[in-house]
Amino acid sequence: MVTCMTPRKIPHTLAIIPARGGSKGLPRKNVRLLGGIPLIAHTIRAAMESRVERVIVSTDDDEIAAVSHEWGAETPFKRPPEYAGDASTSLSVLLHALRFMEQEQSMKIEQVIFLQPTSPFRRPRHIDEALQKFDEKRAVSLISVTEVQEYHPYFMFTLGSGGDLEPLFQMEQRPLRRQDLPSFYRINGAIYISRRSYYENLPDRAAIFDWNSLSAYVMDAPSSLDINDYLDFQRAELMLQKEMGKNL
């Protein structure tokens, strides 16, 4: 493991990396080797080399905890079973981590950064740029997005009650040439930032970000790869091999 120069940290920023042991789409994906290191290590390394003050991993799994600690993240608690099931929400995991860090470790938290370990191409600069934009925009929340490329919403449909196709947009509104289509963006799952104050008195099924005061940080498509299954993992391996080939 390579130790890099530590950037100047932003006080009272906490990065939470959620990583339960019971992943379904790709079993044990968080500790599966990608480019010679565990998948979760890519996210830990990016967070540790960013300006985030503290980086913790919330997990119910001893192996994931050991790997996370090896790569420099804090593992201050073992996630309780009630927050590690298939029905557990991201919000419940985040709130549990927040309460523990504040009550058990007396940490003052002003900004919360939620980093899913399934985004291995999210780099330290992405986190730092997102934090900078979050500060500049003074929004309550910020999420990372990427431009829709393959499947543009103007060419999407729903099925009517009789099984007929119904376009999402009226046909007369749709440009005839693809290059004239307006830009659309989708959440890529790489970075979620919110002010600590947002998490006071939220309903149980709320989002981990504030829809009413939300800014966006745009990432390129390759950096936005989100690993959910084996095909995603294979694609990530090919991308890393190509990247390594360029650096030879």
Residues noted as catalytic? 174
Radius of gyration of the chain measured on its C-alpha atoms: 19
pLDDT exceeds cutoff 80 at 7: no
**Residues 120, 236: Cα–Cα separation, whole Å:** 8
pLDDT exceeds cutoff 70 at 126: yes
Distances in whole angstroms, Cα of residue 224 to Cα of each of 9, 11, 132, 213 = 24, 27, 19, 23
Average pLDDT, whole number, for the chain? 92
**Residues 19, 60: Cα–Cα separation, whole Å:** 8
Long-range contacts of 175-182 (CB under 8 A, 24+ apart): 178/152, 181/152, 181/154
Band the pLDDT of 181: cuts 50, 70, 90: confident
pLDDT exceeds cutoff 90 at 175: no
**Which of the residue ranges 47-61, 106-120, 126-140, 157-171 would you say has the lowest mean pLDDT?**
157-171
pLDDT at 178: 74
Tell me which CATH code domain 10-147+184-247 carries. 3.90.550.10
Q: Which residue has the tokens 């694609």?
A: 235
Q: What is the DSSP letter of 181?
A: P
**Residues 98, 90: Cα–Cα separation, whole Å:** 12
At 76-125, the pLDDT tens digits run: 999 999 999 888 899 999 999 999 999 999 999 999 999 999 999 999 99
pLDDT at 246: 65
Name the amino acid, one letter, at 125: R
Whether the full predicted model's pTM is greater than 0.75, yes or no, is: yes
Assign residue 57 a region (left: φ > 0; alpha: ψ between -120 and 50; beta: otherwise): beta
For 18, the enclosing helix (H) or strand (E) is strand 10-18
Band the pLDDT of 70: cuts 50, 70, 90: very high
- Domains of the chain, residue spans: 10-147+184-247, 149-182
